[in-house]
A = this chain, B = another copy of it.
Amino acid sequence: MTAAAIAPADTEALRERLSHLDTAALSDAMDSLRTPPFVLPGIATRTPGTVACGPAFTVRYRAIDDETAFHNAANYIDDVPAGSVVVVDNGGSRTCTNWGSLLSSVARHRGISGTVVHGSVRDVQESRTAGYPLFSTDVTMVSGKNRVVLDRTGVEVDVAGTPVAPGDWIMADDNGALRIPAALVAEVVRRAEAVERTESRIRRAALGGGRLDEARARFGYARPWEEGGEDDHR
């Protein structure tokens, strides 16, 4: 199932609901569905406090094999739909970058939700100042130009062992980044919202003077996506 299988209006509604969630609640919802691995390992925020969420636009780089030939820049950003999360696979490189301040500026201008790089980025401070959500394996200053070259866009990529297909949903925040198969995203969001409501009840009860263990038992902490606690009377 690809992103195309979700109608644009539904995509926008999902993105709005996702923007009120976080990777922790979504991770718990994925766990409850016993999905395959969903974490994008080793991806960390470079712009703390920002969130990226939306369908993945995938970009794969490869090492250049002919060092004497000229290799142009990777020109794909003009084709990325607004609301997407750009997922760049550069094999986890810590020695050259595939993203910098110019791309952050243009991406923000185009309404792209954020970028996840399996590899390195540069100009982190400019992206932070601009408030553009940027996530990566590492940071360095060396350009990828004449070191790697665009291989393909719109193909399945691999982020440290977790596959990301075009149209998979991505969410990234200060906890890291995860992907949600498009076929599951509606149910995952529904469950994550229930997780958040259960946690809010537990938090209120525990901060109101009760014991945390009792609040957890009362409000169904073991299966929070079911909201199965005793006062579940909505």
Contact A125/B174 with A73-B221, A78-B212, A212-B75 known, Cβ cut-off 8 Å: yes
- For A25, the closest partner residue in chain B by CB is B141
Grouping DSSP codes into helix (H, G, I), strand (E, B) and loop, the A interface class, with mixed when no group exceeds half, is mixed
| A68: Cβ under 8 A from any B Cβ | no
A residues with a Cβ closer than 8 A to B are 22-24, 26-28, 31, 39, 44, 48-49, 70, 72-73, 75, 77-78, 95, 100-102, 105-106, 109, 122-125, 139-143, 145-146, 173-176, 178, 199, 202-203, 206-207, 211-213, 216, 221-222
A-B contact list, 29 entries, CB within 8 Å: A22-B123, A24-B101, A24-B143, A26-B141, A27-B143, A31-B143, A39-B95, A39-B141, A73-B213, A73-B221, A73-B222, A75-B212, A75-B213, A75-B216, A78-B211, A102-B199, A102-B202, A102-B206, A102-B212, A105-B206, A106-B203, A106-B206, A106-B207, A109-B207, A124-B175, A125-B174, A140-B175, A140-B176, A141-B175
